Structure 1
Amino acid sequence: MAETVPVRCPQCRREHLYIVPSYPCRCGAPVAPALLHGGIPVRVRHRVWADSWLTLRCSACGRYDEWPRPELGCPCGALLRPPLAEPSGQSPGRLSGAAFPSAVAGGEEAPGTSSPGAAGGRPDFQPVAIRTARDVVTAAALFLDWLGFERVRPVAGAHPVPGVDLRGPEVLARVDPTTSPTGPDAVETLWLHGLNESAVAVCFSLAGYTRQALGRADALGLPLFTLDLAGTPQPVNEAAHALLDTGGPR
């Protein structure tokens, strides 16, 4: 059973139950960062890529490796980093063997998304760690496939559709890999494309959404998801929760 840690957003005071992600070590044992229970999370206003990684040690084989720092998107638009049980000043590539944050390796399988869809007959979603912008698109495509949408592919060709990054016969998706929150214009553009093509429109963002984008998406009924660096999408609004409950048309 994956560890669950309560995280309270310092901006809106909403409390979330955050499932601590674990990652498969090369030896096969799952490795997870140790989080501080009751600690105050840090709000990320501007993502710095070098600060988004942790160096963790597998307690099973002793190997050090780099993994995404735990993050959580709050529905109020804040992107949060839960506090670690042991602070780390390490940046990627500095494998000095000292001052590493603690890691836990056990017999559990790596957890999938914390969505209710995993309990509705689907297997757990298996995320892909995000290290590049291409990985963000790959993670979103895998998630849509897991939801039940068929033949989801990146939009390519001589005439790409502005504001659409993934396409399937019954779904369109925008995937924002930037370090700035996604704004309302992107939400409206994606919704219009979905309306014109009679397709489900879904938006994914690595840095969360502005307050205006959240309000516009709620008014349009467009599902919004955030992606953490572990590659696990988290629902942001009611439309996203509803999509998790129903899944795709498959």
Structure 2
Amino acid sequence: MSESVPVRCPACRREHVYTAPSYPCACGAPVTPSLDGTAGVTAVAHRAWDDDWVTVRCGSCGRRDQWPQPEVGCPCGAVLRVPVAGTGSAPAPGPEPRGAFRPVTIRTARDAVTAAALYLRWLGYRDVRRADRRPPSGVGLAARGLVAQVEPTVRAASRRDVECLWLTAMTEGVGCAYFSLAGYAEDAREQADVLGVPLFVLDLTGTPQAVNGVADELHGSGA
């Protein structure tokens, strides 16, 4: 169950009531970060990927995964980071069932990256994180056995974008997948079919839609 805590903006002193969002675990159960109501909030001055995510343990299956760090926007313009309590113990061993995918609504570029990361976890990929190598455009994600690229803008992904992702995957000896909000140029789709790169379009509900055959196969088979 989602919990709420009082939040006071350190910049303007306004008070807010923040309710933690829930995200779907790979087992299908909702995961809600446990908020630390005793610690003060901090204003976000500079964005860093590691600070934007927090490890939270699923109360149903014990799996620990990374989820977006709870934040609240103040009318004064400040973005406040809400502290999270302990992350819990390690997950129980064994395979985990794949329930129905539960998307998150996309309102910002960050939401698009979150939606892609959630989908990859739902497929069964572990340790989804920001990729060490930054792609020429968009945001790179990495997991065990896979690299992915997310284009969270209104720019359609190009053939060069697809080829760069494929080359990165070949260099690292892993699979790959591409997620785009605005879709793909025609030659990008053609080249993806030649190279075997799964292409997905993210709709505003946060649900990835397969664009080509290899994406359909990945959706069906999982990691």
TM-score (norm 1): 0.48
- Report the 3-state secondary structure (helix = DSSP H, G, I; strand = E; otherwise coil) of the residue aligned with 1:225: strand
2:187 maps to which residue?
212
2:60 maps to which residue?
none
Alignment map for 1:1-250 (pairs within 5 Å): 122-155=98-131, 160-162=134-136, 165-248=140-223
Q: C-alpha displacement at 1:162, in angstroms?
A: 4.0
Higher relative contact order at CA 8 Å, sep ≥6: structure 1 or structure 2? 1
Q: C-alpha displacement at 1:160, in angstroms?
A: 3.3
Alpha carbon RMSD of aligned pairs, Å? 1.7
Q: Within 2, Cα distance between the matches of 1:161 and 1:183?
A: 13
Q: C-alpha displacement at 1:165, in angstroms?
A: 1.0
Q: Within 2, Cα distance between the matches of 1:224 and 1:161?
A: 16
- Report the 3-state secondary structure (helix = DSSP H, G, I; strand = E; otherwise coil) of the residue aligned with 1:165: strand
Q: Within 2, Cα distance between the matches of 1:186 and 1:225?
A: 14
- Report the 3-state secondary structure (helix = DSSP H, G, I; strand = E; otherwise coil) of the residue aligned with 1:226: strand
Q: Give the 3 Å change call, closer, same or farther, for CA 186–146 of structure 1 in structure 2.
A: same
Report the number of matched residues.
127
- Report the 3-state secondary structure (helix = DSSP H, G, I; strand = E; otherwise coil) of the residue aligned with 2:115: helix
**Residues 148 and 165 in structure 2, CA contact (< 8 A), matched pair in contact too:** yes
Q: C-alpha displacement at 1:198, in angstroms?
A: 1.1
Q: C-alpha displacement at 1:161, in angstroms?
A: 4.8
Q: C-alpha displacement at 1:186, in angstroms?
A: 0.2
**Residues 137 and 154 in structure 1, CA contact (< 8 A), matched pair in contact too:** no
Which stretch of structure 1 is more off in the superposition, 164-173 or 208-217?
164-173
Code of the residue aligned with 2:156 in structure 1: it is P
Code of the residue aligned with 1:126 in structure 2: it is R
1:78 maps to which residue?
none
Q: Within 1, Cα distance between the matches of 2:98 and 2:113?
A: 22
Deviation track 1:94-125 (CA, whole Å, cap 9, x = no partner) reads xxxxxxxxxxxxxxxxxxxxxxxxxxx62110
Gaps of 5+ in 1: 1-25, 27-120
Q: Within 1, Cα distance between the matches of 2:202 and 2:157?
A: 12
TM-score (norm 2): 0.54
Q: Within 2, Cα distance between the matches of 1:233 and 1:160?
A: 22
Code of the residue aligned with 1:221 in structure 2: it is G
Gaps of 5+ in 2: 3-96
Q: Within 2, Cα distance between the matches of 1:165 and 1:185?
A: 15
**Residues 135 and 149 in structure 2, CA contact (< 8 A), matched pair in contact too:** no
Deviation track 1:12-48 (CA, whole Å, cap 9, x = no partner) reads xxxxxxxxxxxxxx9xxxxxxxxxxxxxxxxxxxxxx
1:14 maps to which residue?
none
Q: Within 1, Cα distance between the matches of 2:131 and 2:104?
A: 20
